[in-house]
Amino acid sequence: MNVVAITGKRTCEIVQRPDPCIRGEFVKVAIRSAPMCTEVYGYRDGAVSDCLGHEAAGEVVEVARPGRVAVGDRVVVMPNHGCGQCSQCLSGEHIHCEHPVDPYQVCGSQTGRATYAQICIKQDWLLVPIPEDISYDHASMACCGLGPTFNAMQQMAVNALDTVLVSGLGAVGLGAVVNARCRGARVIALEGNEYRSALGRAMGAEAVIDPRDEHRLERILELTGGRGADKSVEASSAETAPAFLIQATRRKGQVASVGWGGPMLAREIVGKGLTVHGVWHWNHYRDTDAMFTTIRRSRDLLDKMITHVFPLREVARAWELQLTGRCGKIVLHPWD
- Residue ranges in contact with Zn ion by CB under 5 A: 37, 55, 82-83, 86, 89, 97, 144
* Angle, helix 173-182 to helix 288-297, in steps of 10 degrees: 90
Give, as one character, the DSSP assignment of residue 140: G
CB of 270 to Zn ion, least distance (A): 32
Q: Which long-range contacts (CB under 8 A, 24 or more apart) does 11-19 make?
A: 11/46, 11/316, 12/43, 12/315, 12/316, 12/319, 14/312, 14/313, 14/315, 15/50, 17/50, 17/110, 17/111, 17/117, 18/110, 18/111, 19/111, 19/119
CB of 278 to Zn ion, least distance (A): 17
**Contact by Cβ (8 Å): 188, 163:** yes
Of residues 37 and 146, the one with the C-beta less far from Zn ion: 37
Q: CA 44, CA 271: separation in Å to the nearest integer?
A: 42
Query: Quick one: 12 exposed, middle or buried, by C-beta within 10 A (0-12, 13-18, 19+)?
Result: buried
CB of 173 to Zn ion, least distance (A): 12
The residue type found at 166 is V
Of residues 101 and 217, the one with the C-beta less far from Zn ion: 101
CB of 306 to Zn ion, least distance (A): 14
The residue type found at 281 is H
Of residues 125 and 244, the one with the C-beta less far from Zn ion: 125
Handedness of CA 136, 112, 312, 49 (dihedral sign): positive
Of residues 92 and 129, the one with the C-beta less far from Zn ion: 92
Q: CA 124, CA 26: separation in Å to the nearest integer?
A: 6
Of residues 12 and 126, the one with the C-beta less far from Zn ion: 126
Of residues 89 and 180, the one with the C-beta less far from Zn ion: 89
DSSP 25-51: TEEEEEEEEEE--THHHHHHHT--BS-
CB of 125 to Zn ion, least distance (A): 11
CB of 283 to Zn ion, least distance (A): 13
CB of 85 to Zn ion, least distance (A): 6
